[in-house]
């Protein structure tokens, strides 16, 4: 295999991730990805969109080199991902690439938040002062310095998420993979995270963020990749182009078309994916899930 190139360098052509015809099939035979073609360049900020079960988390685990493709070719930082997943040069690889898992319980395993945030830097063999400085900075970045001595399993969902993000930031990875980082964050903390992603981007880190929150996409990404229900890339373009393509967004289940009846009048309009919306108790307003939309009344 090719070695991992040092210090966050992509391969000579600036490609960080290169995937062709990548499939991933879970041991229970569930096909999660079925023919992914994708290149990500150094310094890109990519938003990864797709309905539940479309394969976003699976793709991020492949990019993080913790699982290997079942089929197809894939390199990350110039290394063969199948080899990295088998442990070859994995330590060096994970200095460069950090994944914040969708479920923070997967990421937090130490007796205290501080220990979890310090784990990566200690593994790197850094000195005590450097470890302490990195941890303090990462905890401050996520505004959880006050939680440093708490046990992770005693935290709220959002606090755990922030601790999990801090535990990746302390590694200073050049490639940051975020799986629904704003899920379960309160509105203020969500914007702390959005600003963090922007700052990392400005520092030329490569960032791939899986999210269902369309409102943050233009702020945190310069490129949008949509996974379709066929478990392949359905669209790949700028936020400006992809997010205005209403038919595409409906097809990918990223927005939801509702048909409303107001008295005798009918109209339809899209809603962002999310919890069902309500129209109060007005009995004159009914809505049905209808795809495709019928013409406005």
Ligand X SMILES: Nc1ncnc2c1ncn2[C@@H]1O[C@H](COP(=O)(O)OP(=O)(O)OP(=O)(O)O)[C@@H](O)[C@H]1O
- Which residue ranges make up the site for Mg ion (CB under 5 A)? 56-57, 102
* Nearest to Mg ion of 102, 253 (CB atom): 102
Q: How many CB atoms sit inside 10 A of residue 99's CB? A: 24
Please pick, from the candidates 17, 47, 50, 181, the single residue that binds ligand X as defined by CB under 6 A: 50
Task: Examine residue 211 and tell whether it contacts ligand X (CB under 6 A).
Answer: no
Question: What are the distances in angstroms from CA 221 to CA 49, 79, 243?
Answer: 11, 25, 12
Q: What is the DSSP letter of 110?
A: S
Residue 288 beta carbon to ligand X: minimum distance, rounded to whole angstroms: 24
* Nearest to Mg ion of 96, 179 (CB atom): 179
Residue 243 beta carbon to ligand X: minimum distance, rounded to whole angstroms: 18
User: What is the Cα–Cα distance from 107 to 295, expressed in whole angstroms?
Assistant: 48
Task: Examine residue 228 and tell whether it contacts ligand X (CB under 6 A).
Answer: no
Token pair 């898992």 is found at 101
User: What is the Cα–Cα distance from 78 to 11, expressed in whole angstroms?
Assistant: 5
Residue 214 beta carbon to ligand X: minimum distance, rounded to whole angstroms: 13
State residue 67 phi and psi, 5-degree precision. -130, 160
Q: Which does residue 253 bind out of Mg ion, ligand X, none, counting CB within 5 to 8 angstroms by kind?
A: none
End-to-end Cα separation, the chain, in angstroms: 61
Structure token pair of residue 74: 């894939």
Q: Which does residue 50 bind out of Mg ion, ligand X, none, counting CB within 5 to 8 angstroms by kind?
A: ligand X
* Nearest to ligand X of 229, 261 (CB atom): 229
Piece of 22-30, 140-148, 170-178, 276-284 that binds ligand X (CB under 6 A): 22-30
Task: Examine residue 102 and tell whether it contacts ligand X (CB under 6 A).
Answer: yes
């Amino acid at each position: 295999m090719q070695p991992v190139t040092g210090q966050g360098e992509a391969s000579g052509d600036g490609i960080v991730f290169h995937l062709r015809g990548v499939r991933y099939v879970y041991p229970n035979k569930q096909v999660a990805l079925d023919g992914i073609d994708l290149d990500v360049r150094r310094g890109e900020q990519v938003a990864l969109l797709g309905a539940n079960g479309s394969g976003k988390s699976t793709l991020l685990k492949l990019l993080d080199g913790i699982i290997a493709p079942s089929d197809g070719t894939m390199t990350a930082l110039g290394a063969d991902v199948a080899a990295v997943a088998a442990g070859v040069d994995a330590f060096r690889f994970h200095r460069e690439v950090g994944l914040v898992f969708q479920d923070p319980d997967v990421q937090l395993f130490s007796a205290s938040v501080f220990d979890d945030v310090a784990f990566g830097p200690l593994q790197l063999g850094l000195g005590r002062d450097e470890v302490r400085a990195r941890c303090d900075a990462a905890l401050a970045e996520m505004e959880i310095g006050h939680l440093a001595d708490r046990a992770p399993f005693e935290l709220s969902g959002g606090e755990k998420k922030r601790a999990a993000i801090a535990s990746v930031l302390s590694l200073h990875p050049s490639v940051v993979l975020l799986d629904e980082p704003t899920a379960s964050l309160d509105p203020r903390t969500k914007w702390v995270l959005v600003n963090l992603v922007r700052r990392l981007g400005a520092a030329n880190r490569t960032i791939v963020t899986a999210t269902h929150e369309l409102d943050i996409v233009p702020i945190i990404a310069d490129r949008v990749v949509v996974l379709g229900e066929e478990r392949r890339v359905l669209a790949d373009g700028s936020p400006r182009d992809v997010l205005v393509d209403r038919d595409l967004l409906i097809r990918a289940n990223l927005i939801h078309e509702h048909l409303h009846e107001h008295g005798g009048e009918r109209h339809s309009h899209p809603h962002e994916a999310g919890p069902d919306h309500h129209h109060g108790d007005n009995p004159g307003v009914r809505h049905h899930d209808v795809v495709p939309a019928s013409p406005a009344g």
